[in-house]
């Protein structure tokens, strides 16, 4: 089939966005992977599919596929691209929409200045629900958070890193580093992503605290590798930093591809994500 798509990004986290309401889409993992492939396909960190909702009360259903072809629960930067896409394509006239995802309902809103704010829902903090297997581990308390030691096998040597575990619908392991630019993201990111204690794999965040309202963050994303920004990773990192007593809401997150702003009022409350979404080009591909 000839597939129409839109290439978009949010702070450099890039997407192929597909209207699955006016096109009949039933792709295999290999086809999603081809769309995400930067050499043989279009190229993207994630492919986002817009569908009619199957749940009452929602405006749309939002499905997310990582570049490796796997379907995942949530994508924060993608949710901003999503609301811009449905507005630009005339699929809605509303500036605020409710969107069904694999991880529950989220609510993105197009602001008058073109920025987009998303109610990402409340973070999940119980390790077993992240999911993280904490069996037999002794966590260290810091503020309201528990830091878990994760042992990494580095070519014969063993290194232990202290992580917070948070789910924003998708799983995150957040560690604090002194200098984010020097952090071993490429080396330890894949080891954390595939660590046996995360049965569904995990997104690995490396956060440098700059001030109580300001961090720098790099994320090695599950199913992709390091991306230029990660929306849910930013939410998870700020939640971990606030729980550790190191940050106060709101927090500016500097990612390599741009800036995001995160607000969180505490346990049981939703995390709010604000940032840009940009349409890059429209295309068609035979798939």
Ligand X SMILES: N[C@@H](CCC[C@H](N)C(=O)O)C(=O)O
User: Does residue number 275 form part of the binding site for ligand X (CB under 6 A)?
Assistant: no
Q: Is 195 in the site for ligand X (CB under 6 A)?
A: no
Minimum CB–partner distance for residue 66 and ligand X (Å): 5
Using the rule CB under 6 A, is 224 a contact of ligand X? yes
Q: Does 255 bind ligand X (CB under 6 A)?
A: no
Q: Is 170 annotated as a binding residue?
A: yes
- Catalytic residue of the set 11, 75, 228, 271: 75
CA distances from 286 to 3, 4, 40, 196 (A): 6, 9, 12, 39
22 is in an annotated binding site: no
CA distance 223 to 238: 22
Task: Tell me, yes or no, if 235 is annotated catalytic.
Answer: no
CA 228 to chain centre: 11
Could you give the dihedral angle defined by the CA atoms of residues 214, 216, 221 and 224, in that order, rounded to the nearest 10 degrees? 130
Nearest residue to 255 via CA among 212, 218, 203, 207: 218
The answer to whether the annotation marks 203 as part of a ligand binding site is: yes
- Is-contact 98 92, C-beta < 8 A? no
Q: How many residues bind ligand X (CB under 6 A)?
A: 19
Residues paired with 161 in a beta bridge: 150
| CB within 8 Å of 260: residues ≥ 6 apart | 11, 77, 229, 231, 234, 252, 253, 273, 274, 275
274 binding ligand X? (CB under 6 A): no
Binding ligand X (rule: CB under 6 A), the pick from 33, 46, 146, 249 is 46
Active site residue 75: yes
- Please, what is the minimum distance in Å from the beta carbon of residue 131 to ligand X? 13
Residues annotated within a binding site for substrate = 13, 46, 66, 76-77, 170, 203, 221-222, 231-232
Q: Which residues belong to the active site?
A: 75, 230
Judged by the rule CB under 6 A, the positions of this chain that interact with ligand X are: 13, 45-46, 66, 72, 75-78, 170, 203, 221-224, 227, 230-232
């Amino acid at each position: 089939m000839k597939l129409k798509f839109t290439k978009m990004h949010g702070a450099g986290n890039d997407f192929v966005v597909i209207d699955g309401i006016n096109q009949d889409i039933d792709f295999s993992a290999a086809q999603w992977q081809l769309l995400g492939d930067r050499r043989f396909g279009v190229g993207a960190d994630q492919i986002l599919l817009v569908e009619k909702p199957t749940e009452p009360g929602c405006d749309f259903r939002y499905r997310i596929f990582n570049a490796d072809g796997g379907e995942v629960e949530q994508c924060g930067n993608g949710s901003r691209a999503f609301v811009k896409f449905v507005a630009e394509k005339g699929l809605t006239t509303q500036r605020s929409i409710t969107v069904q995802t694999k991880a529950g309902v989220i609510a993105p809103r197009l602001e008058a200045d073109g920025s987009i704010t998303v109610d990402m829902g409340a973070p999940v903090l119980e390790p077993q629900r992240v999911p993280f297997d904490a069996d037999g581990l002794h966590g260290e308390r810091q503020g309201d958070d528990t830091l878990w030691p994760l042992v990494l096998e580095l070519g014969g040597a063993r290194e232990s890193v202290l992580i917070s575990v948070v789910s924003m619908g998708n799983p995150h392991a957040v560690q604090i580093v002194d200098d984010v630019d020097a952090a071993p993201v490429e080396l330890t990111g894949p080891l954390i992503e595939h660590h046996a204690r995360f049965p569904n794999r995990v997104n690995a965040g490396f956060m440098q605290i700059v001030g109580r309202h300001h961090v720098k963050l790099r994320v090695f994303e599950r199913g992709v590798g390091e991306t230029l920004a990660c929306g849910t990773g930013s939410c998870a990192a700020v939640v971990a930093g606030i729980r550790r007593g190191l940050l106060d809401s709101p927090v500016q997150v500097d990612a390599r591809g741009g800036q995001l702003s995160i607000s969180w009022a505490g346990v049981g409350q939703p995390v709010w994500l604000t940032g840009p979404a940009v349409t890059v080009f429209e295309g068609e591909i035979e798939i």
